[in-house]
Amino acid sequence: MAPMPVHYERIGNVAVVTIANPATRNAIDRDTAVALGEAWRRFEAEDDAVVGILTGVGGTFCSGADLKTMDLADVPDGWLGMSRLHVSKPTIAAVAGHCVAGGLELALWCDLRVAGEDAVFGCYERRFGVPLVDGGTVRLPLVVGLSRALDMILTGRSVSAREAHEIGLVDRLVDADTELEAALDLAEVIAGFPQPTLRSDRASIYAAVGHPIRDGLASENRFGSTVLREALRGAAEFRETRAPGL
């Protein structure tokens, strides 16, 4: 039996999805893409899974589509199995080694990126005439800005972990080989907050992207109005447990 290309593990209320194709630097073929989609749908369906982490084995995050097999299909959830998939809960990429081509697009799918100092980012598909079709041309400009995104996409150059942190592509830069531990720590922080309002605020951010501020404010009000009961509960807890003025 062939080894599973994607591992799904629960660590408390955190789900860790791991790409496990070390022989190809965690490249994505069709079986891996299908497994990625299944893993994230499982995460979405498990009520007690609060935060999801995406990572890779063998000191590499993901090298993108497997150009040797070239067997990916344009399915509704994206060529790489998850790039058009919506989840309602926070996600974190824990990045080591190469995070390039489609691997970069998968990291951009996540809300936050934690990277070890050995991480390398880049739109390497540029070098082989492969288009960005898993969200890179949409998400990268939103994360790093138009000019920096064009620089990365048009040149296909390598971007070090330190530069990625400086331009906002990486949210947390940590020592090499500690990125998963750091991502788990970050996930625990996020998981410790009341989830209804956290998720509604997250949804409001994404709903407002690309729209006029007036529309964004309207959607923010709409999302916030759905969780007012949680706000009242939190206010009552504050009154009972916090000292005056804190």
Residue 218 among the catalytic residues: no
- Bridge partners (DSSP) of residue 7 are 18
Residue 161 among the catalytic residues: no
Give residue for tokens 């949210």. 171
Q: Which of the residues 65, 94, 115, 119 is marked catalytic?
A: 65
Return d(Cα 27, Cα 40) in angstroms, integer. 18
Q: Kindly compute the dihedral angle of the four CA atoms of residues 153, 157, 163, 166, in this order, to the nearest 10 degrees.
A: -20
Query: For residue 14, what is the enclosing H or E element?
Result: strand 14-19
User: Could you tell me how many helices (H) and strands (E) the chain has, helices first?
Assistant: 9, 9
Residue 102 among the catalytic residues: yes
3-state secondary structure (DSSP) of residue 150: helix
Q: Which of the residues 125, 135, 136, 220 is marked catalytic?
A: 125
* 59 HSE (CA, 13 A, CB side): 5
From 62, 51, 53, 57, select the one nearest 17 (Cα to Cα): 53
Q: Which of the residues 35, 81, 94, 105 is marked catalytic?
A: 105
Q: Which of the residues 37, 56, 78, 102 is marked catalytic?
A: 102
Residue 46 among the catalytic residues: no
Catalytic residues: 65, 102, 105, 125
